[in-house]
Chains A and B, each alone.
Chain A
């Protein structure tokens, strides 16, 4: 069956990156469309009228929204190559639980590290480290969260790695000093082409954030 795949995305978005990684893992050819979030395209507004957000995957004209929903969709449609989830229900549930944990705990806290100052920033840093220490515990001695192979939870988390330099610079702390296993895991993931080709350079993300703070008067 012919597949027409389009991805509406925004290059610094760690949510969009998850979809890029998933598509690359499965070797899927697609058209990448960069959105200007200050001037959203009619296509984006038509394909995601509810949230008006990226990423949106458009598969043979039909939209799928919300990054982890998209990643699971990709895994279920292109199921014969590089499965992201284990096959037995218990281990699948375990992976979904940890992906949900990442959804609940990482983004808002991480954002506060670069977007706020003073006490609020300090609290955010502390929560960030606590969250990643819990994730380190879950990783244990495994090479990936998925076990021997890169999987759903790895995809959910690795894209935040492109923002680590930004968090560390604004927050004035070292993630490696606090969570060395996470950094070792991230570097292992970055050895995969699907990941390395999907994540922007950390310094570019930092420059973007500096620009964004100025533009929105957040300094």
Chain B
């Protein structure tokens, strides 16, 4: 049966790119639909009426929403190149850290780069440092979060692997993820973006930096 896979996303969103990374890793053909979030398409509203957000994966007409839910769906549907461990304890570990990244790291990154005043940004940067240290420890003895190959948690950490660098550059924030402070994480980020399925899924960097700078401003004065 011919398979139809659609991905609704926006070019700069890490969440949408997570879905594309997983599909590319598994060699799944899909059609990408760019959404204008200020003018959402009838299709997006039909496929995700509850949240009206991207990303949405539509597989043979059936929609799946929420990036981490989509990643697990992709792994369970297309069994080649597994991205999720089989062992229940390792799966629980990956789910725990993915949640940690989304609920704790992402808000801290945004505040550290674009918080309202310097005090808030410094406080968020300190908080982010503590959070990144946990992830640094998690990489102990591993090339990727997934072990020897890229896994679900590496994809979920894409914000840290690539977007953080773009945000730093765009906002002028002092380097939040440095080789000195977090050698394993720094190394991981470089390895992560070198994997071809990941590299192909990243937004064009210059365009991305310019876009973020325009949208949020360069709030951090040079040190």
Contact = CB atoms under 8 A, between A and B. Distances in A.
B136 interface: no
Q: How large is the interface on A (under 10, 10 to 19, 20 to 34, 35 or more residues)?
A: 20 to 34
Contacts of A72: 91-92, 95
Contacts, number: 55
Q: How large is the interface on B (under 10, 10 to 19, 20 to 34, 35 or more residues)?
A: 20 to 34
A196 to B, nearest CB: 27
Given A65-B96, A93-B72, A100 B66 contact: yes
B88 A69 contact: no
Given A50-B134, A89-B73, A97 B66 contact: yes
B69 A73 contact: no
Interface of B is mostly: helix
B95 to A, nearest CB: 5
Contact of B64 (A62, A65, A66, A90): A90
Interface string A65-105: 11001101100110000000000011011101100110000
Contact of A73 (B64, B91, B100, B134): B91
Interface string B13-53: 00000000000000000000000000000000000001100
B157 to A, nearest CB: 15
B96 A69 contact: yes
A90 B73 contact: yes
Nearest to B78: A89
B96 A89 contact: no
A97 B68 CA distance: 9
Contacts of B62: 90
B69 A93 contact: yes
A101 B48 CA distance: 12
Contacts of B95: 66, 69, 72
Interface of A is mostly: helix
B99 A93 contact: no
B65 interface: yes
A89 B77 CA distance: 6
A93 B59 CA distance: 12
A93 B55 CA distance: 14
Contacts of A134: 50
Nearest to A60: B89
Interface of B: 50-51, 59, 62, 64-66, 68-70, 72-73, 76-77, 88-89, 91-92, 95-96, 99-100, 134
Given A73-B89, A73-B91, 4 more contacts: A59-B89, A62-B89, A69-B99, A89-B76
7 contacts: A50-B134, A69-B92, A72-B92, A73-B88, A73-B89, A92-B72, A97-B66
